[in-house]
Amino acid sequence: MAESPLPSSPAPDWGSHLAQTLAPQRWLGPVAMLGPSGLWLFLLLVIPTLLILEISLVPGLRLGQPAGGYGLGNYLQILEPVYLRVMGRSLAFALGSTLLCLGLGFPVAYWLALMSPKPWRNLLVVAFILPLWTSSLLRAYAWTTILRPSGVLNTLFGVLGLPSQTWLNTPTAVLIGLAYSFLPYMVLILYASLEKLDTRLLEAAADLGANPQQRFWKITVPQTLPGIAAGCLLVFIAALGDFVVPTLLGGASSMNISRLIYNQFLGPTRAWGFGSALSMVLILAVSLAIALLLKYGDRSTVTETSQ
């Protein structure tokens, strides 16, 4: 369709503008490309989420019992101290494992990106993500054999003459398991970010008198901050909603939000209303973290890594 020769005409012809917008050649392509996945998302994500939202607004809803009217009772229940403790614990697990991953992952990523022998670099990176190719359930089970009372760790303690410790079913075990599970993601994202670091800037900083520590804190860290933010948020999101590790390694004392949700739906109480409210809170928290990730994280490293 030919464009109007006078784009700044004082009286725009709305009719032809509308016709142009509605012309099949304008929308047919995008609809054909986005339609199938859009329908998929609508049926399997949007509608279920709205259903959860609806159920969460029916206080005291239990499977097999008549439902009452709408209200915020389920959400108020979350504010009871016992459940607030669960929320706090979930947050602590997520934060703790994020910090552990950052602390353990940064040196590894730095070495891989800037110091490892170049011909081996790709192979070393692949070696590092190898654990991701096995099931997370399997990896969590592996940790139970390491951490159980007569497990690998305590055997090692015995050899070294140290007293046996209780590892399994403690918060420490959950932190170890979560950090182990998500460390490869952190390393990959930091690696992608550090690999792009312009080392000439480090030379320039050295030239201006900065010693190695100053170069690290004033150049390397600020330059890779988007990668650090992306890695932390990604690990945080994954750890916050993780179910397998706290269930297998945490025991009764390590109840977190995802286990609590599981119990509401499949446990003896069948409190679907309360479970739905908890789910909404988790969805909200994760959405918030994703929003932060999109705003502050280095999106290119995230997409590169998740490919």
Binding footprint of another protein on the chain (CB under 8 A)? 198, 200-201, 203-211, 214, 218-219, 222-223, 225
How near is the Cβ of 305 to another protein at its closest, in Å?
22
How near is the Cβ of 240 to another protein at its closest, in Å?
29
How near is the Cβ of 227 to another protein at its closest, in Å?
13
Q: Which is nearer to another protein, 150 or 211 (CB)?
A: 211
How near is the Cβ of 228 to another protein at its closest, in Å?
13
Q: Which is nearer to another protein, 46 or 208 (CB)?
A: 208
How near is the Cβ of 216 to another protein at its closest, in Å?
13
Q: Which is nearer to another protein, 95 or 206 (CB)?
A: 206
How near is the Cβ of 300 to another protein at its closest, in Å?
16
C-alpha–C-alpha distance, residues 286 and 284, integer Å? 6
How near is the Cβ of 201 to another protein at its closest, in Å?
6
C-alpha–C-alpha distance, residues 180 and 287, integer Å? 24
Q: Which is nearer to another protein, 55 or 194 (CB)?
A: 194
Q: Which is nearer to another protein, 158 or 222 (CB)?
A: 222
Q: Which is nearer to another protein, 170 or 223 (CB)?
A: 223
C-alpha–C-alpha distance, residues 171 and 138, integer Å? 20
Q: Which is nearer to another protein, 192 or 281 (CB)?
A: 192
